[in-house]
Amino acid sequence: MSTQTLTPDAPALGYWRGVRSVFALEMKQRLRSRSWYVLLVVWFVVIGLVATLTALSSSATLGPQGPVLYELMVGFILFFGLLLAPALSANAVNGDRAAGTLAILQVTLLRPGQILAGKWLASWLASMGFLVASIPFLLWALALGGVQPLSAVVALVMLAVELGIVCAVGVGVSALAARPLFSIVVTYMLVALLGLGTLIAFGLSGFLTEETVKANSQTYYGYTGDGMDEYTCSGPLMDVTVAHTERIAWILAANPFVVVADSIPVTSERDENGYTSSGVMEGISSVVRLAQAGPDYSMRCINGEVREAGEPDVPPIWPLGLTLQAALAAALVFLGRRRLRTPVRKLAAGTRIA
C-alpha cells in the first residue's frame, strides 16, 4: 500500500474550487442568520422613506423630478452602504478565529488566499443584496424623467465597486486584527478617513499652495446660448492671494463620493436662460473639477486677461481614486494573507487557535 504526503505547496485543490468552497460555506452561515434579513428590511424602509419624502418635496419644483430623486438616492445608497459594508466584512476572519473555527479551515488543503477571497466574495455579495433592494427607487427616478438610463447603469456599477473595495478593506483588517471589535472600529476609521479625512486634508493643505498674483475685478456679461458665459475685466490690478488647488486635488480622488460622482455622466442641461439644476452628486463632481482646474479657471481676470469661461478642461479624477482605494485594499489583504499562513510562529496574547 502506498501513501502520499501532502506538503503546504502541493496543488491538491484548484484555486477557484477552494474559493468556491469557502464562499459557499460563508453564504450558508450568513443566510441562516436573521440579522442580515432584518438589516435588509430596515434598509428598504429607510431608503423608501427618503425616496418618498424627496419625491413629495420636489413635486412643487419646476422641471423633471427624476434628477433630484436619482442623485439623492445615489448619495444615500452610497452613504448607507459605507456604513453597512464594514459590519458585514470586518469580522469575517477574526470572528471565526474567536469561535475556534478558523483553524479547521487552515488545516485543510485551503490556502490563505483562498480563504480570504472566499470570505471577501461572500461579504461583497451580502452587501450587494442591499444595493439590489435599492434598484426599485432608482427605477422610480427613471420613470419620473430627466435621467439617462446609462447614468443609472454607471451609478449601479460604481456603487457595487465601492462596496467591494470597502468589503476587501474589512476582510484585510479582520485578518490582521485579533479582536472582531477592534477590526470593525479600524475599518470604520479607514472608511471615515476616505470619506471625511480627504476633505479635511484638502482643506488644511490649501495654505501650502497659496500664491500672490495680479488680478482685477470680473463682471458677468451674459450667457451666449451655446453653453458659454461671457465676462469682462475692469478696474486696477491688485495683489490677490490664490490657492493652487490643482496641486492638491488628487487628495480628493480617494473619496468614495468623489469617485462615484465624477464617474456618473452629466444629466442636467442648461435651459433657454442658461441655468442648470444640478443635483448632489453632480455638484460634487463640479466642485472637484473646479479644484482640478485651479485659479486659472476660477479667477478669470488674472493679469487683466479674460480666461475662457467654458467647462474646466480637466481629465476625470475617478480612475485615480479607484486606483488609490484598490491599492489600500490590496495592501491590507496581502498583509492579512501573511497572518493566515500556517504553521504560525508567533500569536498575539490571548489569541484562540481552536
Q: What is the mean pLDDT of each run of 10 residues along the chain (354 residues)?
A: 44 76 88 86 91 79 74 91 92 83 80 90 93 92 84 93 95 89 93 94 88 75 56 76 87 94 73 52 87 79 68 86 95 89 64 56
Residue 51 lies in a domain: yes
Nearest CA to 169 out of 332, 337, 334 is that of 332
Residue pair 260/49 in contact (Cβ under 8 Å)? The answer is: no
Residue 256 lies in a domain: no
Longest dimension (CA), the chain: 100
Residue pair 25/118 in contact (Cβ under 8 Å)? The answer is: yes
Give the per-residue pLDDT at 29. 85
Give the per-residue pLDDT at 166. 96
Residue 225 lies in a domain: no
Nearest CA to 333 out of 169, 94, 182, 185 is that of 169
Q: Give the domain extent around 100.
A: 15-196+319-339
Helix ranges, 65-148 (H): 66-89, 94-99, 102-106, 112-144
Q: Which residues of 121-160 are buried (b: 16+ CB within 10 A; e: fewer)?
A: bbbbbbbbbbbebbeebbebbbebebbbeebbeebbebbb
Give the per-residue pLDDT at 2. 43
Residue 48 lies in a domain: yes
Nearest CA to 281 out of 270, 271, 268, 291 is that of 268
The whole model's pTM is what?
0.84
Structural domain count, the chain: 1
Residue 62 lies in a domain: yes
C-alpha to C-alpha distance for 183 and 189, rounded to whole angstroms: 10
- Residues paired with residue 218 on neighbouring β-strands, in sequence order: 233
Residue 114 lies in a domain: yes
C-alpha to C-alpha distance for 209 and 263, rounded to whole angstroms: 27
Residue 333 lies in a domain: yes
Give the per-residue pLDDT at 275. 42
* Ramachandran region, residue 276 (left: φ > 0; alpha: ψ -120 to 50; beta: rest): beta
Cα distances (angstroms) measured from residue 265 to each of 134, 147, 150, 301, 341: 20, 10, 8, 30, 44
- Residues paired with residue 223 on neighbouring β-strands, in sequence order: 229
Give the per-residue pLDDT at 273. 43
Residue 263 lies in a domain: no
Give the DSSP letter of residue 302: B
C-alpha to C-alpha distance for 205 and 201, rounded to whole angstroms: 6
